[in-house]
Structure 1
Amino acid sequence: MVILGFTLSFIFYMYSQYAPVFAEKVIGSTPVFSKTLISWYAISSLISVFITSTVVRKVHPFKVLLTYSIVAAAMLAVMVVHPTPTIARLTSIAIGFFAAGGIWQVGLTILSRYFPLEKGRVTGYYSFAAALTYFVGPIVSTFILDDTAASLVHVFVLDVAVSVLGIIVMIILAVRCFKYKFI
């Protein structure tokens, strides 16, 4: 679960940092359009918080976590393979809704259920893993980025790879959770 603290945060951190530059350099969009991607991301993230809080009461949190992560990874992959202004806007909405809009907190809720007597400690571990995103993301991207569109595509390929890693971890955890009938 702590690994998910990192992967979930990494997805939306990298997207929010590099989506406008991706839109300008890879898609050839105007600076104004590029900046609107973050607005779409932020609006859908806010909407997701309210919707996710309702959905997670009716659907098992692992199913929500897995579904949201798959949609986010798929949209990132589509944007990498088919970069157009429309796809970039849809990806901004999807990443905001499915990756940034409360899903990290759903992971924390699941982790807290595993350790009900040590919620403070596990919250610290989970949050530390998320904080690593703000250290690792910029360092890794400096090795990838140069002044080319291809390097921005590589940053998003990395984001897709981290998304897939998170999905694999979630599947392993979900199988164990349901196998042992935990939470």
Structure 2
Amino acid sequence: MKNKYTATALGLYINYIVHGMGVLILSQNTDSLQAQWGTDPAGVAKVISMLGIGRLLAILISGRLSDKFGRKPFIFLGMFTYSAFFIGILFSPSVFVACIFGVIAGLANSFLDAGTYPALMESFPKKAGTANVLLKAFIQIGQFGLPFMVVALTNANAWYGWSFVLAIAIFAINAIFLLKRPFPDQDAQQAADGKAPEVVTATKFKSKPKMWVEGICFVLYGYVSQATFYLIANFIAQYGENVADMTKSSSLLLISYYSTGSLVCVAFTALVAQKVRPVLLVVVYTLISFITITTMWMIPTPLICQIGSFVVGFSAAGGVMQLGLTVMGELFPAGKGTITGIFYTLGSVASFTVPLIASEIAKTNVQNIMLFDAVIAGVGFVLAIIIYIRYKQTVVID
């Protein structure tokens, strides 16, 4: 609590509660939006897909601009554009107009990420892993709470838009709260100008990291880490029913085990990352994912799928991607906004390409989806080992 940026971080975390709501708010209000736009579920799904396109369009350039213009402007830009999305959806008369605001939501997500991840890494340089992983927890809070609110509004026959209004109100109050809060990159600039004490950094190097070695590994890891848990999240129910011979209801519960594992890992990592270097956790979590997914492919029984769903949720979806970004920020501290953009751009590409590949695989043999995921996780482990070796060679470990 002695850190001068603690209040700033609290405001940043609150933003991600709203982001968690934003991820699900369209799918949770499908019936109301269908009636408003005069469309069917496919029309709403089309709008939801626009969020990914908007994110992919902006994440790389917004990261670079965050390095140039600062974290605070991009965080406020993200809050403003996200609010524009919530307002725009409420007043969109058609799917076409809603798609435009869907793209805006993707842009907003990119702006928030480009400002928030670097700001947290700079605010807590010695606890960057914990700081970044906690974002996952606040996203989960938003995703957990929104369905209850939607159900309550539905049962009360109230206007569906109140959930959107709540999101806007949180942003408005939080913007006022963050307006006067200090940001580390601003303090660093003042220090460079001789107007403030020098900002302490955490990383000391034996030799300069090489972008063409560990940099490329991190870029590929951004793709692999997203792909690993994305496959499980989207296909585990189908795998449980068609391959493990589970009942429909039992297979649907696998995603609950997966989500529980993710939440447990967030809490565990938030504690452990203060004592263990994030780079070691990246290796361990990626190895656990590889072993677990391989086991689920080789021994597709109901019990293995239930245990495996929890373990993969823990090891692959509980914050390892954020930890990977944290380590990349340690090795390339000069442009954290840029590396955030690069890292998550490949993650966004995975969100598009992996489901397409997996869908084609599922047409012939659903079990091979798990084999595909095991191969991806195996590649991720190899990349994690290379990153770990290069980290030990380049970073001074106190």
Fold agreement, TM-score > 0.5: yes
Q: Which residue of 2 aligns with 1:142?
A: 359
| Corresponding residue number in structure 2 for 1:177 | 391
1:29 aligned counterpart, secondary structure: coil
Corresponding residue pairs, total: 180
More helix, by proportion: 1
Q: Highest Rg: 1 or 2?
A: 2
* Distance in 1 of aligned mates of 2:396 and 2:231: 33
Q: Percent identity, aligned pairs only? A: 29
Amino acid at match of 2:386: I
* 1:82 counterpart residue number: 299
After TM superposition, the structure 1 = structure 2 runs for residues 126-165 of structure 1, keeping only pairs within 5 Å, are 126-146=343-363, 151-165=365-379
Q: CA offsets per residue over residues 155-176 of structure 1, 9 Å max, x none? A: 1111000101011111111111
By how many angstroms is 1:182 displaced?
5.3
- How far residue 59 of structure 1 moved from its aligned partner, in angstroms, is 1.1
Which residue of structure 1 lines up, in the alignment, with residue 261 of structure 2? 44
- 1:88 is displaced (CA, Å) by 0.2
State the partner residue of 1:35: 252
Contact 2:297/2:371, CA 8 A, preserved across alignment: yes
Letter in 1 for 2:303: T
What TM-score results when the alignment is normalised by the length of structure 2? Answer: 0.44
- Give the one of 6, 19, 24 matched to 2:236: 19
Kindly indicate whether structure 1 or structure 2 has the higher relative contact order, using CA contacts under 8 Å at least 6 residues apart.
Answer: 1
Output the amino acid matched with 2:277: H
Q: Distance in 1 between matches of 2:354 and 2:308?
A: 19
Runs of 4 or more off by more than 2 Å in structure 1? 180-183
| One-letter identity of the residue aligned with 1:145 | A
* Equivalent residue number for residue 95 of structure 1: 312
| CA distance in 1 between partners of 2:320 and 2:376 (Å) | 16
Partner of 2:331: 114
Distance 2:277 2:388 in 1: 10
Alpha-carbon deviations, 1:91-127, whole Å to 9, x = none? 1100110100011110111111122221111101111
Native 8 Å contact 2:283 2:385 kept in 1: yes
TM-score normalised according to structure 1 size: 0.94
Cα distance, 1:119–1:97 mapped onto 2, change above 3 Å: same
How big is the shift at 1:131? 0.6
In the alignment, is the contact (CA less than 8 A) between 2:331 and 2:391 conserved in 1? no
Paired letter, 1:164: G
1: CA distance between counterparts of 2:395 and 2:334? 19
Structure 1 residue 179 displacement after superposition: 1.7
Structure 1 gap ranges (5+): none
Letter in 2 for 1:61: P
In the TM superposition, what is the alpha-carbon distance from 1:132 to its structure 2 partner? Answer: 1.0
2:275 aligns to what?
A: 58
1:178 partner letter: K
**Which secondary structure state, in structure 2, belongs to the residue aligned with residue 58 of structure 1?**
coil
Say which is worse superposed, 16-25 or 47-56, in terms of deviation: 47-56
Match of 2:287 in 1: 70
Aligned mates of 1:57, 1:152 — CA distance in 2 = 40
Structure 2 stretches lacking a partner, 5+ long: 1-217
Secondary structure in 2 matching 1:154: helix
